[in-house]
Structures are given as C-alpha cells and as structure tokens.
Amino acid sequence: MALRHLLRRVRVIRPDLNRAQVARSMSQSLTQAPETQLPSPPPPDRMIYDQLAEAVKSKLKRLENPDSRFLQYASPYPITTDHTPILSLPETKITTLPNGLRVATESNLASHTATVAVHIDAGSRFETDETNGVAHFLEHMIFKGTEKRPVKVLEEEIENLGGHLNAYTSREQTAYYAKVVGDDVPKALDILADILQNSVFDEKRIEIERDVILREMEEVGQSDDEVIFDHLHATAYQYTPLGRTILGPVENIQAITKEHIRDYISTHYAAHRMVISAAGAVKHEEVVEQVKKLFTKLSAHPTVTSQLVAENPTIFTGSEVRMINDDLPLAQFAVAFNGASWTDPDAIALMVIQSMLGSWNKNAGGGKHMGSELGQKVSINEVAESYMAFNTNYKDTGLFGVYAVAKPDCLDDLAYAIMYEISKLCYQVSEADVIRARNQLKTALLLDGTSPTAEDIGRQLITYGRRIPYAELFARIDAVDASTIKRVANRFIFDRDIAISARGPIQGLPDYNWFRRRTYWLRY
C-alpha cells in the first residue's frame, strides 16, 4: 500500500517517467543511504573482539599518518638533512716546508683566541720493552725548563700571557698545545719551539718527575675505566707494542735516564713526522713565516712510521683477563672485537654502529625513549649503572665494543643484552635507526672551539695525510645504510674472536665461551 502511494507521488511530480524508470530510481534511492543515517548494527556472527581489533587498526592508521601540524617543528621520524651550510666553513690551508714539517691553519677572524699545537706521529707504540714509558716521561720533562727559560720563567711567562699550555701522550700520537689570545700567537709558537728543541732535562728534575709519575700511576690504578682499557689492550694485543701501557712499568720509570729521553727525541721527533696546527685568530702566511724562523733544530732522522708499524705488526688475540675483587661495590667489564684502522673503508660504518649502540648513564635519567635499543633494554630493566660503546682506531687495527658497569647480580642479564644487540646487527637493521645514528654521529663530529679544531687538524694530517672537509665526511656518513651496517657487522662481528677485560665482583659474569658463542645466531 505504501509503495503504491509512493509511486503515485512520483507520477504526479514526474508525469513523463514510465513504470520501469520509476522502479530504477527507487532502487537507487534505497541503496544510497543519507549521511545522517545511523550505522547498521554489526552482524550477529561478528564478535566483540573483531570490533576491538577494528578500533585498534584505525588508531594505528592515525598514528602512521599523523596531523602535519603537530610535526611542523619537532618530528619523531628521523630524516636526512641538507648540509649546504657546512660548505661555508673556513678552509684548512696546508704548507709543507723543505724539511718535511707541515703547517696547517684554519682561520676564524671572528674569534678572539687561538690554539697552536704541535703533533708528533709518535707514542708508546714505538717504544721498546726496555724504554716503555719514555714518551710519557718526556711529556712531563718538556715543561721543566730550557736553556733560556728556566722552569720558573717558563711558568710565569705562560701565566702572564693568560694562556694555557698542556700536552698529552697516546699510544700513537703526542701533542703539545697552547691556547692564547690571538695577538699572542707568535709568543706561543716561540715557547713551543723552545721547549721542543732546547729543553735541558736537568738530572734533579728527572728524579723529581719519577715520583710524580709513580703517583700518577697510583691514581690511574684507581680509575676503573683506565684499568679496564689498559688490560683490554694488554690481552687483545698481547706480545705486540699496542699491548703496552702508556705510563710503562714501574721498573722502567725508575730506570729512565736523560740519554733515553734524548735518544727518543732524536729518533721520533723528526720534522717529517710533525704537524704544527693553528686555529682561531690566526693568518696562515704569518704562522708559516714564524715556523720557518723558530723550528730550525728539529731532527732529520729518516725513520717513518709505516716502517716501524711494518716491523712490529699488531695481531689481535681472542682472550680475556679477569681481576676478581670483592671489595669493589660494582663490576666493570669490556667486550671488544678487532676493529678497523683509520684508513679502512669501513671505519665510518663502524662509527655509525657505535652511535647505534649508544651510551647510557643511570645518573642522567631517561633511557626508555632512547633511539638505541640496547639503551632501552638496559634502562627499562635496570641491569646496569652505565654503559658505553667505544670504537678506537689505530694505524693498522682497532678496538670496537661495549664497556659497562653493573651490580654483581645483574651481570648475566646485562651480558645477554649487550651480545644480543651487537649480534643482531648482522641480521636485522632498521633504516630509521641508521638515519638517527648518522645524525647523531654528524652532530658529535661538529667541533666548537679553537682547541678541538687544532687537535682535529693535527690528528687528521697524521692519520689521513690531509684534512677531510665536513662536506666529504658527511657524504661518507650518509652513504651508510642498513645493508652497509649488516655487511660491516658480518665482517667484524659475526663469529669473530673477542677480547674481554673484567674487574671487581665478577663471579656472575659468563665465561669466555658463553660470550664467543653469542657472536652469531644460527641461520635456518
């Protein structure tokens, strides 16, 4: 009855329509519900769990496509960035003098200070068993007076300049640097040239410095990370020069003489193995002219570093050293793989892997929202006090791994988390994690200040023979993707020997075979 009445109304409104057209228009109007129509109830066979699943899917879809207004300034998704502004950084100018001495500067006329440094391609690695420790001993003695500047005059001159004079010795390099006001750069160069060429090495001062170095050795022995890494090198590079400590053994410190120091200078402090770097308020031409006048007494010993490395090659040995000491409140250990040298093509990829593993400290807070999955696991489960991924490069090898500090009852869980995340790099790598790690690495490599810049210039000229521009360095970092990480991880991590150094209450730390077994997963 209702249908007949509706057809009559349609016929009145549109008398030109026949019955077939009216039926067709009616079927279309019944199938197309208006927007205000209430949704039909779910079919009886649809369970409540299906409805919840649909709701969750809709929420996930909204998360995958968030409103762009909320991501305008702080996006949680890592993206690649434009490095065009980096190209405008100051140029590093390099001049090689006839005696082989290299002078490199990076001018920043907007700066009011400058750092001048002398880098020597020599360290504890190039000593012998009998002279181990002489490089560090020389670092102490170099500031104890020259022929025209007694120690008191030297110290007063530095203080009057308001400058900072210091040095450091590593396994492969030694550096002396001075930070002063820009107008005092000539005086700083004069002081560095004087102490490097005219130090007197007074016998009484040598005896005084013996006691100073022995006290320094006691302080180093109380530093947890210093002890761990010294023993890590000793076990990983046993019976090779890199396995020796920088300070040297006690018997060597007590036996070093003035002749040992002078012989080391004449052999290793040669002009062709030295780089003078300057950064800040400096002008390249002026620095070069001053260096020509001041550095005239440098050794011309023909020995080159590559020859010394070839004569004493470094061999990585899978091994461990454990120092049980229940008096210590916390346990420390380091797990290391044989890494890459400075010039290895995969050195940059290992730096990215180091950033992916990251570092975390309990006192710093946070952790569960870190980009590093290892950091998330360690912080959420509270299995460590701190951890740090490290990547140390040398001329022909390197050390790559993780150093951690934890309570004695957490060692097994912490060791499992570390080895799981390291080995997982051979199998599963997220592109987002790689991009995030690349961005973090680039930020860490950007230098701020004259002293870090001068140090970086000298180090790169010694290791690479040139200063790598930021544009090239960042391009190399951006070339690392997920497939590169997996390839490099399979080269350095998959089923490779490891070196372990542990100290403290470490009875709960798994044995060497447990660690070695977890350098790979079974592939099916």
* DSSP annotation string for 45-91: T--HHHHHHHHHHHHHHHHHS--GGGGSS--SS------GGGGGSPP
Q: Helices marked H in 109-184 — which ranges?
A: 134-141, 151-161
Q: Mind spelling out the 3-state secondary structure of 452-484?
A: HHHHHHHHHHHHCCCCCCHHHHHHHHHCCCHHH
Exposed/middle/buried for residue 243 (C-beta within 10 Å: 0-12, 13-18, 19+): buried
| pLDDT given at position 50 | 77
> What residues contact residue 281 under an 8 Å CB cut-off, 6+ apart?
107, 108, 109, 111, 112, 113, 114, 181, 182, 183, 185
Predicted local confidence at residue 18, as pLDDT: 53
Give me the mean pLDDT over the 129-148 stretch: 92
Per-residue pLDDT at 440: 93
pLDDT at 10 > cutoff 50: no
User: pLDDT (tens digit, 9 = 90+) per residue, 149-204?
Assistant: 999 999 999 999 999 999 999 999 999 999 999 999 999 999 999 999 999 998 89
Question: For residues 359 and 405, is the Cβ–Cβ distance under 8 A?
Answer: no
| Rounded average pLDDT over 460-475 | 91
pLDDT at position 13: 45
d(CA 448, CA 452): 7
pLDDT at residue 119, rounded to an integer: 97
Which residue from 387, 384, 417, 410 is spatially nearest to 508, judged by alpha carbons? 410
- 321 class by beta-carbon count within 10 Å (0-12 exposed, 13-18 middle, 19+ buried): middle
Q: How far apart are the C-alpha atoms of 306 and 303, rounded to whole Å?
A: 9
Residues counted in the chain: 524
Res. 74: pLDDT tops 80: no
CA distances from 123 to 234, 340, 368, 454, 485 (A): 16, 19, 41, 19, 32
pLDDT tier at 33 (50, 70, 90 boundaries)?
A: very low
Q: What is d(CA 397, CA 403) in angstroms, rounded to the nearest whole number?
A: 19
Helix H or strand E encompassing 386? strand 386-393
**Which residue shows structure tokens 């077939």?**
20
CB 119, CB 462: distance < 8 Å: yes
* Token pair for 506: 């470490």
Tell me, yes or no, if 209 is annotated catalytic.
Answer: yes
Cα–Cα distances (Å) from 507 to 223, 408, 419, in that order, read: 21, 8, 18
- Residue 241, classed as helix, strand or coil, is helix
51 against 252, higher pLDDT: 252
Q: What is the mean pLDDT of residues 35-42?
A: 52
- No. of H helices and E strands in the chain? 20, 12
pLDDT, greater one: 57 or 166: 166
C-alpha 172/C-alpha 458 separation (Å) is 13
Percent of the chain with pLDDT over 90: 70
pLDDT above 90: residue 398: yes
Strand 498-504 versus strand 319-324 pairing type: parallel
pLDDT for res 15: 47
Is residue 139 part of the annotated active site? The answer reads: yes
Active-site pick, 139, 385, 421, 455: 139
Across 27-36, 135-144, 217-226, 476-485, least confident range: 27-36
Distance of CA 474 to the CA centre of its chain: 14
pLDDT at 7 over 50: no
Q: What is the pLDDT of residues 345-374, one digit of tens each?
A: 999 999 999 999 999 998 877 777 888 899
Active-site annotation holder among 106, 127, 172, 209: 209
Closest by CA position to 354, among listed 468, 243, 440: 440
Note the pLDDT tens digit of each residue in 213-259. 999 999 988 888 999 999 999 999 999 999 999 999 999 999 999 99
Residue at 350: amino acid letter: L
Span 80-100, pLDDT tens digits: 666 666 665 788 999 999 999
Quote the pLDDT of residue 267.
Answer: 93
Average pLDDT, the chain: 87
- Threshold 0.85, pTM exceeds: no
